Structure formats: structure tokens, C-alpha cells
Amino acid sequence: MKAKRSDNFDKFANKKKGSAIKEEYRQEKKQAKKDSRAAGEAARQRKKDIERGIAVEPVGNNKKGGFDKKGGYAKKEFVTGPTKYGALQKSSSPRANKRTPASMDRADAKRTASIGKVTANDDMPYEQMPLNKYIAHAGTCGRREAAELVKSGHITVNGDTVLEPGYKVQYKDVVRLKGKVLQLQVTPVYILLNKPKDYICTANDPEGRKTVLDIIKNATTQRMFPVGRLDRNTTGVLILTNDGDLAQKLTHPSYEIKKIYEVTLDKPVTKADMESIAAGIELEDGFIAADAVSYLSNTSKNVIGIEIHSGRNRIVRRIFEHLGYDVRHLDRVMFANLTKKNVDRGKWRFLAEKEVRTLKFLNKSFTRKASK
């Protein structure tokens, strides 16, 4: 049975030591600095809102209103959870806005726990964000290092040097580190789509035609774009992502990204034409040669497999049209190292982490050789 502690022991245990008193003093001093920063931020925010034409209401400790002890002010509504990931929620109570940076980080981590399920507001990813957090999310460094960069005078916001790490960065503010513009990193999303016919590879179409983004609209709310576009009548493997660096690599000629197509033609292709495609032909925009070409059937000579790394517009169709053939159907069966295996026409899937990693290092030696 657990013995009950005596009152004297409780008094001893609960008595404040000298170190505790010093710590309490330090915390009070820290809070005073925090309040001072908040007062300065509130004043700057008030000035910005007045310049933008936003109506503000003074608040204070009396019914007539006025500034409170911290020099703050209130709007008619408070914003809860300003985050780069989700839409803002509004509350009539200021209590809802009292979220610590740690709790916001945990919430953000939970939102990004599963790739492809992240929510985002493309038009306004966040309303405001502490400057050091903004720098960290731009991928420059951690928050502590970011705070030191700010205090050292290396950061400007809209051309003005800011020395306060907690300065609230507004949406569309331009943040620069030593003159270089910083941009927030988004959660990367990678999707493989088996593109069906009659869909176009654009974000939107003035004519109201169906786009590939219509197919993946429930996959993520990140702003996606197709990589290695296919024309309306071409089907097969298509990658969609919001990773601009990877997209540029997969479409840059120096990486020689492999693409394999299955081509169905209106008539059998002669052996002489197959040899011409392999050796290379001269088109209106220059010379082109297939990396490999072969019949896909011993009986039907009008179904051809062709491997090519050129990214020129409609290149496969133009090769066969140049030789007098009409392309009845064109299907991309491989792009880079990805195939449409286990992905039905019109369906999609997220790329596995290993597949993404392979894409990022694919043919990297090609560019090293070219640079020598």
C-alpha cells in the first residue's frame, strides 16, 4: 500500500527555489518582449488594412473602445488557422485564433500525412505567416536559421528590410533573401494516368472540351499540370504533377527520356519504310530518327512499335504521315520507366516513392557527359 506523503514534504516539494524564481522572472521578461512585438505588428497591420481600405474597429478596456494595453486593435471577425494548406475558417471569437506555432505545425503535419489528400486554396494558400516560418517553408533553412537571417538584415519584404522574425507575411508579399525571391514549396504530388481518347492535355479549354484534369479532379486540390503532353486522339501513359523541376527534366532534350508507342496504321508498313524510320528522315522541322522500331505481329504489318526520345510536337504521327500512312490509333505504352500496367483506360494512380526517386535520377549521366 502506497504511503501518504506528509504535509511537510508537500510544503518542501512545492516551495519555489531560487532557480524557479529566476525562471519565472525570465518568462515574464520574455512575455513582455513578445507583447511589445505584438503591439508593433498590430500597428503595422492596422496601417496596411487602412491602406487597403479594410474597415477596422479600435478595442480597449472601456466601452468607448480604443487601443488595449498591447496597442492592438480588432476587426469584426477573427481568422483561425492561417495555413498554406487549407482554406481559412472564420470565427466571431478571438479565442479561436489562439493557436501556438507548435499546434499549427502538428495540424499542418497531419494534413500532409498522406500524399494526394492535401487540401489547398490555389487562389489564397495562406492569409498571413510569420516571416521565419515563410523562409523555412521556402526550403532555404530551418526556422532558427531563418530567424538569424532576418535579424542580420538579409531579408526584405516588398523591398523593405525587416528585422523581426515574427513579422507577418501577407499573401502576395514579395520576400527576398539577399535579392533572390523566395517562394513557398508545395507538397509534391505525382500521378500516372492512362489517358483515354477525346481528352486534351490543358488546364482548361475555352471550347469546353474535356481535359485530363477533369479525370483527376478528386485526387488532389493541388494545382496540377501534365508532363509530356499527348494530343486529343492519343491515348496511354501520362504523368501529372505539381513538381516543376521534375517536369522540366522529363521534357528536356538533354535527358533523352524514352517513350514507346504502339501505332496502328491504315495499311501495312513496308520493310523499306521501317528501315527509313530507323535510319532517320528529314521533316519540315529537322532530322528525326527512331531509337527502335519493329512490327508487333508476324501476321499484321500495320501495327508498329516505335521507341523515340524526341519531345517534338506530334512527332510520331508526322513520321508516318511523311511516309504516306494514316495513323488510325496511337497509344503511348511507356513514358520514362513507367507503363500503364494495372491501370485501366481513364484510370489513374499515385506514383510510389521509389518510382518518383527513379524518375528524378533517370538518365542523369547523360547531362554530365554533355557538360564535359
d(CA 340, CA 7): 74
231 catalytically annotated:
yes
Burial class (CB in 10 A: 0-12, 13-18, 19+), 336: buried
d(CA 104, CA 107): 5
d(CA 316, CA 356): 27
Find the helix or strand (DSSP H, E) in which 19 lies. Answer: helix 18-52
Are the C-beta atoms of 319 and 310 separated by less than 8 Å? no
Catalytic residue chosen out of the listed positions 10, 198, 231, 266: 231
Are the C-beta atoms of 42 and 73 separated by less than 8 Å? yes
Closest CA to 139 of 184, 104, 171, 178: 184
216: DSSP letter: T
The string of DSSP letters for 307-327 reads EE----TTHHHHHHHHTT--E
d(CA 340, CA 331): 11
**Helix, strand, or coil here: 267?**
coil
Q: Which residues pair with 281 in a beta bridge?
A: 288
Active site residues: 231
